[in-house]
Amino acid sequence: MFLFLEVEWAVFIGTIFSNVLFLALRSCFHHKIQLDKIPVRRQLPTIDTIIATQEASNAFGAQIIPLIVSIYMYIQPNSTESDPISFQQLVILVSNVVSACCITFLIFVSWKKGPEWWLNISPYFFFVALVINYLIIPIMNILLSLVLICDPKVNLKNQTAESFNVFFMIICISRVVEYFILIRRSILLDARIYLQSTKELYDKPELELQSMLN
């Protein structure tokens, strides 16, 4: 019961920290990823608020809040009584650190603008960050949780942190579902269209020059 209240308190602190951090970064850098269809008038700098960037803020918080909670859970004495659970707590912590870095890169680093050398490699960084954040890390944690659940040598009923681990597995499942339902059909599709149109834009002058020479 006390652990549940402590986790709820950690979630509350994580939510505040996530929103403050997002607004701090947003005040310095315009977010580069668009997850929703916001009217243009609500994206103007004079009235640009957290409402106009709600989906980007939610995506950012969905990675930062579990990071805060996993840090709190990892430093708890009850989280390290058993070697398998301790290892799982460490994996969750590292996973959330990597996910926080990936989502920060995806939201605040533009892969469509920059010097030529960056534009040549940025689509690969963009795609790898998406796959790591929404496929590799979630699937890895899901498999680890299933292995520990099926292992008869691990008594999960006596582990106070296991409820959080199961909850994190559900979060990972939701991220995989989100990738195939939202990310793949919106962000990746938009990136594919942008790359195709950019390629055609650069190829068109060359084709016109070749037709003139012929």
Question: What is the reported pLDDT for 80?
Answer: 46
pLDDT at 81 over 80: no
Taking a C-beta distance cutoff of 8 angstroms, is the pair 63, 103 a contact?
yes
- Domains contained in the chain, number: 1
Residue type (1 letter), 69: V
Highest mean pLDDT among 105-119, 168-182, 185-199: 168-182
pTM: 0.77
Question: What residues make up the domain containing 182?
Answer: 2-213
Give the rounded distance of the alpha carbon of 209 from its chain centre: 44
Contacts of 61 (CB under 8 A, 6+ apart): 14, 15, 18, 19, 22
Helix segments in the chain, DSSP class H: 2-28, 54-75, 83-108, 116-131, 137-150, 162-178, 188-213
Three-state DSSP at 34 gives coil
